[in-house]
Structure 1
């Protein structure tokens, strides 16, 4: 608020150049745009991301199926295998939605014994796939997308303000150079012509 009062006070100051006023109005405009447009951009970006992610959730739930797998044999736990995570692995067989039997290595959250039954996710061909995204994950991703959109919007406003201020400074320096070229050669000379 103090900066707005300061801007108002500078309006009638004879030492205030036009570029100073323009710079002040640019700063005020940027603050207002960031305060008003950034939340609107966040809502818009979050909603757009939420709709797209909910469509992805629906697609994944249509395309992925949870089936029962029977453990055939257990594998020794990996020491540190980043590809398979920190869970236990077991060789298992399962029946795909099309009725064909498949086998492969599944990752379990607990140690499994031969004959244990586990729930796994497969696609229509019976290949193992990760579980589908749930709605809570979609919401958290949409919130992050909205926050990112807000940051980008604020950054664009600030970048535009800085670019405009840079052009104002270039104009100000060019005017100083013109004035100095006009006054400079006679500066300090007592016999200069009036």
Structure 2
């Protein structure tokens, strides 16, 4: 949340009090802390962007490598896939399950193994899978779009964590300062009441 212009102006007057200012030391301390929090929050933006860029570079390298090493092939199911099941409460359909299948890899080498088959598939149906150069089933390669999404998510997550941490620190500090100010106010009030009672 970006402070309003009036609040920023009030903090500035607390930090740099003019002649006749009634700002207390705790007020100046709170304003100084708020200024530090704002500066750190702003500095976290390019830092998070740099972290996101680093994540993108590493993810992009993984995507390029996997796209070069993996290839899509068509597998033929040797058995029925899992039966269709619907949750009575949520209505959600279950996910794919490992099912026996056969496929050919580079050099027309025949392979037999488990592949993920959706519910309701039958023996003889075909599914697309990804394999490495040896014909071993692997997870689908990381796409360029996924690399971008992961990088943005990393940058946004880091920035959000920093901002939430700063907000928490500031709130805790303000809470402590408020308790301190309340305690001082009570002491001063009791002193005034005691003075009036003696007089």
- Fold shared, TM-score > 0.5 on shorter chain: yes
Residue 73 of structure 1 and its aligned partner are, at CA, apart by: 5.0
Tell me which structure has the larger Cα radius of gyration. 1
Q: Give TM-score, length-normalised by structure 1.
A: 0.69
Shift of 1:146: 0.9
TM-score, normalised to structure 2, is 0.68
Bigger mean CA offset, 37-46 vs 129-138: 37-46
Residues 169 and 98 of structure 1: CA distance in aligned 2, closer, same or farther (over 3 Å): farther
Partners of 1:164 and 1:68 lie apart in 2 by 61
- Give the distance between the partners of 2:63 and 2:166, measured in 1 at CA: 34
Q: Answer 1 or 2: higher relative contact order, Cα 8 Å, separation at least 6.
A: 1
Aligned residue number for residue 160 of structure 1:
169
The 4+ residue runs of structure 1 with deviation greater than 6 A are none
Aligned to 2:84: 79
**Residue 189 of structure 1 aligns with which residue?**
197
Question: Would the alpha carbon gap of residues 190 and 105 (structure 1) be closer, same or farther in structure 2, given more than 3 Å must change?
Answer: closer
Pair 1:120-2:129 in alignment: yes
In angstroms, what is the RMSD of aligned CA positions? 3.8
Instruction: Extract unaligned runs of 5+ from structure 1.
Output: none
Distance 1:160 1:118, change over 3 A: closer
Which sections of structure 2, spanning at least 5 residues, go unmatched?
Answer: 86-92
Q: Does 1:143 align with 2:152?
A: yes
State the distance in 1 between where 2:174 and 2:107 align. 66
The one-character-per-residue Cα deviations of 1:168-187 (angstroms, maximum 9, x if unpaired) are: 34543554566567x36833
What's 2:30 paired with? Answer: 23
Shift of 1:84: 0.7
Distance change >3 Å, CA 73–CA 8, structure 1 → 2: closer
Q: Structure 1, residues 12-48: CA drift from partner, whole Å, max 9, x if none?
A: 35432111122123223323432x2232133022112
* Pair 1:67–1:76, CA change in 2 (3 A): closer
Match for residue 4 of structure 1 among 3, 8, 13: 8
Is the 2:48–2:155 Cα contact (8 Å) retained in structure 1? yes
In the TM superposition, 1:61-140 aligns within 5 A as 61=67, 63-69=69-75, 71=76, 75=80, 78-80=83-85, 82-84=94-96, 92-96=101-105, 101-104=110-113, 106=115, 107=117, 114=124, 119-123=128-132, 126-140=135-149
Instruction: Give the length in aligned residue pairs.
Output: 184
Cα pair 1:46 1:143 within 8 Å, conserved: yes
